[in-house]
Amino acid sequence: MPFFEEMSPNTSSASTDTPRRPARDLIEAVLENMRRNLEPLRYSTLAPSRYVIYLHPLEYARLESILSILQEQTKRALVEELDTLNRRSIVQRYAGRFTGRQRAPVESASGEWHVEFLPDPDGEVAEGAILIDSELRLPHTPELGAGDHTRRITTVHLDQRVTTRQRTVSEPPPLPAKKTVPW
């Protein structure tokens, strides 16, 4: 799910004409992407579990030395956001008891978070913008002949226009290991 977002210029006196985004804004953009692409089911709500964040090469170079920390803090923020989304007020808890309708918990589709920051290889990300490609990666099914299924949602935000494209990709199952017969 790509997510383009314009950056505001840095207001420090050392800034150049290129916009500069504080690293915490990247984390907030991932959280916003997660909140926008929740998939409600009957007994749970799934959140995309894989995020690839593409940065302009100059922005990537600026942040390259702290990317491991940024990745760790993004995963931590995703866990905290799930906790916040799942926390219910006392009124909501009592209302659920009386109506018999409980809100489905929000959880990562695969049970863990995958976050990766990369420089834009195609030149699609303008300076001052980011692209977030997120996937609702479903857990592996052990059925014979069944591969992994991934729902990919592409969302482009550019100025006032929003474009969304959704597709499900089935990856073929891994081939079984060949048995060797010792002679």
Is the residue at 6 inside a domain?
no
Domain that holds residue 51: 23-170
Separation between Cα atoms, residue 96 and residue 102, nearest integer Å: 5
Q: What is the pLDDT of residue 30?
A: 95
Q: Tell me the CATH number at 130.
A: 3.30.2320
Q: What is the pLDDT of residue 172?
A: 57
DSSP 174: P
Separation between Cα atoms, residue 64 and residue 117, nearest integer Å: 9
Contact predicate 53/115, CB 8 Å: yes
Is the residue at 40 inside a domain?
yes
The answer for residues whose C-beta is within 8 angstroms of residue 68's C-beta and 6 or more apart is none
The helix (H) or strand (E) run that includes residue 116 is strand 114-119
- The number of distinct structural domains making up the chain is 1
Q: What is the pLDDT of residue 155?
A: 47
62 pLDDT more than 80: yes
Is the residue at 57 inside a domain?
yes
User: Which candidate, 53, 55, 56, 72, places its Cα nearest to that of 133?
Assistant: 53
- Locate 18 and state its tokens: 């290129």
User: Which candidate, 78, 83, 151, 148, places its Cα nearest to that of 115?
Assistant: 78
Q: Which residue has the tokens 């049970």?
A: 111
Q: What is the pLDDT of residue 92?
A: 66
For the entire predicted model, the pTM comes to 0.69
- Mean pLDDT computed over every residue of the chain: 76
Percent of the chain clearing pLDDT 90 (strictly above):
45
- Among 2-16, 69-83, 109-123, 158-172, which range has the highest average pLDDT? 69-83
Is the residue at 160 inside a domain?
yes
- pLDDT tens digits, residue range 115-170? 999 999 988 888 888 899 999 876 555 554 544 556 665 544 444 444 455 666 66
Separation between Cα atoms, residue 110 and residue 93, nearest integer Å: 27
Band the pLDDT of 90: cuts 50, 70, 90.
confident
Is the residue at 179 inside a domain?
no
Is the residue at 148 inside a domain?
yes
Is the residue at 2 inside a domain?
no
Q: What is the pLDDT of residue 125?
A: 87
Is the residue at 105 inside a domain?
yes
Q: Under DSSP, is residue 6 helix (H, G, I), strand (E, B) or coil?
A: coil
Q: What is the pLDDT of residue 173?
A: 54
Q: Under DSSP, is residue 86 helix (H, G, I), strand (E, B) or coil?
A: helix
Q: What are the phi and psi torsion angles at 71 (to 5°)?
A: -65, -45
40 pLDDT more than 90: yes
